[in-house]
Structure 1
Amino acid sequence: MSINSAMLAGVSGLTANSSALAAISDNIANINTVAYKRNQVNFANIVTAQAVTGRYSAGGVQGLTRQYISQQGLIQSANSSTDLAISGDGFFIVTEKGAGLTDADKRVFTRAGSFSVDSDGYLRNDAGFYLQGWPIAADGTIQYNPSDLTELNSINVKNLGSAVQATANVVINANLDKRQTVSAAEATYDPATRSMADWEENADPATGTQPDFTIEMNVVDTVGGTHKVAMSFLRSDANPNEWHAEIYAIPATDIAGGGPSGQITSGLVMFNQDGTIDLTNTTLFGAAGAAPTISLGASGTAATPRWDDALGVGAQDITFDLDKLNQYASASTVKVVNPDGATVGTVVGVEVDEQGVVSAIFDNSQVRQIAQIGVATFANPDGLRAVSGNSYRATIESGEFVIKQAGLGGAGTISPSTLENSTVDLSAEFTGLITTQKAYSASSRIITTADQMLDELINMRR
């Protein structure tokens, strides 16, 4: 009868408003949760068939929960370089395990990017989930697969070993004095029998020739060892724009199979009439016009010259940038000698760029790319199912995920040193709290009134 349907409608109102209260409570409780997405219970009426004409049977109301997962929260700056936010569409891919991931381990999706480096070196957020990314090989290549989550691994920034970079380039900014007089020893100079390398080794005029000017530099070998290399010059008597030059190691025992006393190469360095270097006619690196590069063979090989066999290091090519080596009428001086390369270093920091490339920073100033964060997108993000830890799982309604590089194919860019705020509007939630309370009280009044009417009906029989 209609009174019973009214009572049941009141019960449905209590149930629906209880759900609404629960959703509002969750929202308010998570006002400060990173990247939390607000929930809302929307109401829909229930219509029942009217069995008797002229009599109305109440259907009541049902509460339908809606998640606003696709709504982006305000992105604000954070203190840590590993705090990350996605500006645009997409989700971080995370797991509950760091090491030893298998295909059976579940992957979930989140926008909560409050990651930090744990004691094992993994990037893990406040909910305990480990960030996933594609490993970057030593040659900089990445194996992408947009549909295979198992291609991603938990990102670790500590288990990398030490970083060593052998010297490959040396920039020299120096001046040789145009006014330099030709020394008397120049007449007897011979790079094979009276070399400048011999003078460096022995300081004996009988076996070596004292250079007019020397530039010294440190180079790093393939295992991080440091060696001193010198480039010496002697003014030539044959041409006012010509200098004898040698490159050699100090001490000489670092080099084997080369010229005397650790000599690596010898020849002429030529200058133009305006004082700039003339690499076309320079023979220090071989034939005239040869690239300004020296090649050192690996220890234990037959290459000449090579690193000494006792050092046990690999082959190495070193290119010299001599564009700023000049011959002007001013004192010979070295302005800058800048060899690259780095000795052994350990990780001291982590940085992430907008494309999601995670790099380790070493204390020897080296930066090594480790992994690229994968960003998962869905056709209908609001169809995802929420799970604990402010994360989500894919459903039929959400559609299949596609893993993309940040900033490509509709995926958002990654903003380092930022966090996404909760989408909860506290004033709107308090307003909803009041209206829900009133609606709940009104629904309870329906039940009270229907109960009184039933009492009247029962009393009619007395």
Structure 2
Amino acid sequence: MSSNSALYIATTALNAQSTNLSMISTNLANAGTVGYKAADMSFRTLITDPYSQNSTSSGGVTYSSTQNVAMQGLVESAGSSTDMAIDGNGFFVVSDTANGENFAYTRAGGFSTDSEGYLVNDSGYYLQGWPLDSAGNAVTAANGSVSSLEVVNVSAVTGSAAATTDIGFVANLPADAAVGDAFVTSTEAYDSLGVSHTIDYAWQKTGINTWELSFSDPVSTADPTITTGTSAGGPVQIVFNPDGTLASTTPAQVDLTVTGWTSGAANSTITYDLGTVGRADGLSQYASSNGSNPAVDLTSASQNGLRLGAFETAYIDNSGRIVATFDNGQERPIYQIPLATFNNPDGLIAGTGNVYLASEQSGDYVLNNPGHGGAGFVMGFALESSTVDTSKELTDMIVAQQAYSAASQIISTSDDMFRELMNAL
């Protein structure tokens, strides 16, 4: 082997180790990058004349880097309701514009809402999902193609109003009231347009352990002087046991029908839950807590109606759905997040912003709901950590530095040999 060959071999070593150091530097720089997958360098011998019988035939080293994209990173809890991590196979589908073009795939689930309501991750990529209707069903056919996806915009959704159909009472009627005494309580109820109304209830003691409940016509909650509908139902006969628990109601099912809403809403039927017979979990009859001034003690009156709600925030549920919450207490899923899986995820092409592009080596994508078709699960309030092992990278850096220094010494020695040769001529 000539000095010239030694110089060439050392040059390939310098090139390989400098590239190795660059890869190590990239890994260390991304040790805190959400969803980053560490790259590894592999080296191979390079023989310039593989058919030579000379055991000292000149050679060198060649190299290649691989990124273990399929490796699972540690899933850690996060503070944002729109942060999400993938536990298992798959990638989020994202695009680099709000128009849903130039699709890419990522494990970086640190999404937040931008000024226009889009869910964007730390690299500026827009999350894609299948929109859901108010019943949680897909609006468009989830045909397995990215063309069926939409850019997720959480602020574009609006809440809805709901008519009150059920009201439940937890109240004590005063056992120490005189026969003929009457008391009035009231509750709020909503029509189908979400308009608030107030209904009064007259409780009259008709005998020992017996009461009668009557309903008033609803009035406007904003202006109680305005009657807003016509009530039909009642009076209800209520009987208590000697121990103060509910004995019976007549009728057994208490319904109130309201017609002619002045708001233009549909007629309403409200079913009342007055408690369980033989128990004091709804209505009860015990001595009044007011002592000498008996009164109906209305502890709670629950109802299921809703006014129109404005969007408040969003979170990710265990099914990988984006759930919107509204200021009226309503919650409903608005998007399903699919996961894209590949036959060979390590064959994906890495792009800027911790995203990947499909290649011939990776194969084409397959879209599935989380937990189906080999896809992993989406976890809310969580992020996937980088797979970089800092201690390993520092060790590899020392080895690369030593190999680089050794190759540099070979070049220096070869230079000395050439100098000696030139001096001898």
1:295–1:245 CA distance, 2 compared to 1 (3 A): closer
Equivalent residue number for residue 124 of structure 1: 120
1:57–1:216 CA distance, 2 compared to 1 (3 A): same
1:223–1:244 CA distance, 2 compared to 1 (3 A): closer
Equivalent residue number for residue 205 of structure 1: none
CA offsets, 1:317-374, max 9 Å, x none? Answer: 3222222443535344322211222323322322222322212222222223221222
| Correspondent of 1:369 among 333, 345, 351 | 333
In the alignment, the residues of structure 2 paired with residue 50 and residue 213 of structure 1 have an alpha-carbon distance, to the nearest angstrom, of: 105
In the alignment, the residues of structure 2 paired with residue 415 and residue 135 of structure 1 have an alpha-carbon distance, to the nearest angstrom, of: 19
- Whether contact under 8 Å (2:83, 2:380) holds in the other structure is yes
1:396–1:51 CA distance, 2 compared to 1 (3 A): closer
Equivalent residue number for residue 169 of structure 1: 166
In the alignment, the residues of structure 1 paired with residue 50 and residue 125 of structure 2 have an alpha-carbon distance, to the nearest angstrom, of: 53
Task: Give the secondary structure class of the aligned counterpart of 1:344.
Answer: coil
In the alignment, the residues of structure 2 paired with residue 71 and residue 344 of structure 1 have an alpha-carbon distance, to the nearest angstrom, of: 46
For residue 177 of structure 1, report the CA deviation from its aligned partner: 4.5
TM-score, normalising length from structure 1? 0.78
The alignment status of 1:243 with 2:209, answered yes or no, reads no
The alignment status of 1:319 with 2:281, answered yes or no, reads no
- Whether contact under 8 Å (1:134, 1:151) holds in the other structure is yes
TM alignment of 1:377-396, pairs within 5 A: 377-396=341-360
- Whether contact under 8 Å (1:241, 1:271) holds in the other structure is yes
Q: Name the amino acid aligned to 2:121.
A: N
For residue 456 of structure 1, report the CA deviation from its aligned partner: 6.5
TM alignment of 1:5-24, pairs within 5 A: 5-24=5-24
In the alignment, the residues of structure 2 paired with residue 51 and residue 113 of structure 1 have an alpha-carbon distance, to the nearest angstrom, of: 52
1:344–1:396 CA distance, 2 compared to 1 (3 A): same
For residue 307 of structure 1, report the CA deviation from its aligned partner: 1.4
1:5–1:269 CA distance, 2 compared to 1 (3 A): farther
The alignment status of 1:151 with 2:109, answered yes or no, reads no
- Whether contact under 8 Å (2:234, 2:256) holds in the other structure is no
- Whether contact under 8 Å (2:169, 2:283) holds in the other structure is no
Equivalent residue number for residue 337 of structure 1: 301
- Whether contact under 8 Å (1:346, 1:362) holds in the other structure is yes
In the alignment, the residues of structure 1 paired with residue 322 and residue 213 of structure 2 have an alpha-carbon distance, to the nearest angstrom, of: 48
When structure 1 is superposed on structure 2, of 25-34 and 269-278 the one drifting more is 269-278
CA offsets, 1:409-433, max 9 Å, x none? Answer: 4433333333222222333222222
Equivalent residue number for residue 261 of structure 2: 307
In the alignment, the residues of structure 1 paired with residue 143 and residue 313 of structure 2 have an alpha-carbon distance, to the nearest angstrom, of: 29
For residue 2 of structure 1, report the CA deviation from its aligned partner: 5.2
Equivalent residue number for residue 141 of structure 1: 137
1:51–1:342 CA distance, 2 compared to 1 (3 A): closer
Q: Name the amino acid aligned to 1:326.
A: L
| Correspondent of 2:248 among 273, 278, 285 | 278
Task: Give the secondary structure class of the aligned counterpart of 1:21.
Answer: helix
1:452–1:232 CA distance, 2 compared to 1 (3 A): same
| Correspondent of 1:223 among 193, 196, 207 | 193
1:389–1:245 CA distance, 2 compared to 1 (3 A): same
CA offsets, 1:206-265, max 9 Å, x none? Answer: xxxxx823331111122221101123344457x96463633532357311xxxxxx3322
- Whether contact under 8 Å (2:120, 2:126) holds in the other structure is yes
For residue 171 of structure 1, report the CA deviation from its aligned partner: 1.0
Task: Give the secondary structure class of the aligned counterpart of 2:217.
Answer: strand
In the alignment, the residues of structure 1 paired with residue 24 and residue 209 of structure 2 have an alpha-carbon distance, to the nearest angstrom, of: 88
Equivalent residue number for residue 212 of structure 1: 182
- Whether contact under 8 Å (1:17, 1:63) holds in the other structure is no
- Whether contact under 8 Å (1:231, 1:245) holds in the other structure is yes
For residue 131 of structure 1, report the CA deviation from its aligned partner: 1.3
In the alignment, the residues of structure 2 paired with residue 321 and residue 431 of structure 1 have an alpha-carbon distance, to the nearest angstrom, of: 70
For residue 387 of structure 1, report the CA deviation from its aligned partner: 0.2
| Correspondent of 2:236 among 253, 260, 268 | 268
Q: Name the amino acid aligned to 1:67.
A: Q
Task: Give the secondary structure class of the aligned counterpart of 1:138.
Answer: coil
Q: Name the amino acid aligned to 1:353.
A: D
- Whether contact under 8 Å (1:277, 1:322) holds in the other structure is no
Q: Name the amino acid aligned to 2:166.
A: N
Q: Name the amino acid aligned to 1:265.
A: G
Q: What are the ranges of 5 or more consecutive residues in structure 1 without an aligned counterpart?
A: 184-210, 256-261, 284-288, 297-304
- Whether contact under 8 Å (1:277, 1:327) holds in the other structure is no
Q: Name the amino acid aligned to 2:310.
A: T
1:411–1:254 CA distance, 2 compared to 1 (3 A): same
Q: Name the amino acid aligned to 2:330.
A: Q
In the alignment, the residues of structure 2 paired with residue 139 and residue 334 of structure 1 have an alpha-carbon distance, to the nearest angstrom, of: 34
Task: Give the secondary structure class of the aligned counterpart of 1:307.
Answer: coil
Task: Give the secondary structure class of the aligned counterpart of 2:337.
Answer: strand
Task: Give the secondary structure class of the aligned counterpart of 1:429.
Answer: helix
CA offsets, 1:78-111, max 9 Å, x none? Answer: 332222222333222111122x43xxx2211111
In the alignment, the residues of structure 2 paired with residue 313 and residue 220 of structure 1 have an alpha-carbon distance, to the nearest angstrom, of: 10
In the alignment, the residues of structure 1 paired with residue 344 and residue 104 of structure 2 have an alpha-carbon distance, to the nearest angstrom, of: 16
- Whether contact under 8 Å (2:159, 2:330) holds in the other structure is no
TM-score, normalising length from structure 2? 0.84
- Whether contact under 8 Å (1:2, 1:57) holds in the other structure is no
Aligned residue pair count: 405
CA offsets, 1:42-74, max 9 Å, x none? Answer: 111123445553463223211110102222333
Task: Give the secondary structure class of the aligned counterpart of 1:13.
Answer: helix
Q: Name the amino acid aligned to 1:215.
A: T
Identity %: 35
- Whether contact under 8 Å (1:122, 1:154) holds in the other structure is yes
In the alignment, the residues of structure 2 paired with residue 145 and residue 391 of structure 1 have an alpha-carbon distance, to the nearest angstrom, of: 23
1:431–1:10 CA distance, 2 compared to 1 (3 A): same
- Whether contact under 8 Å (1:252, 1:263) holds in the other structure is no
C-alpha RMSD of matched pairs (Å): 2.9
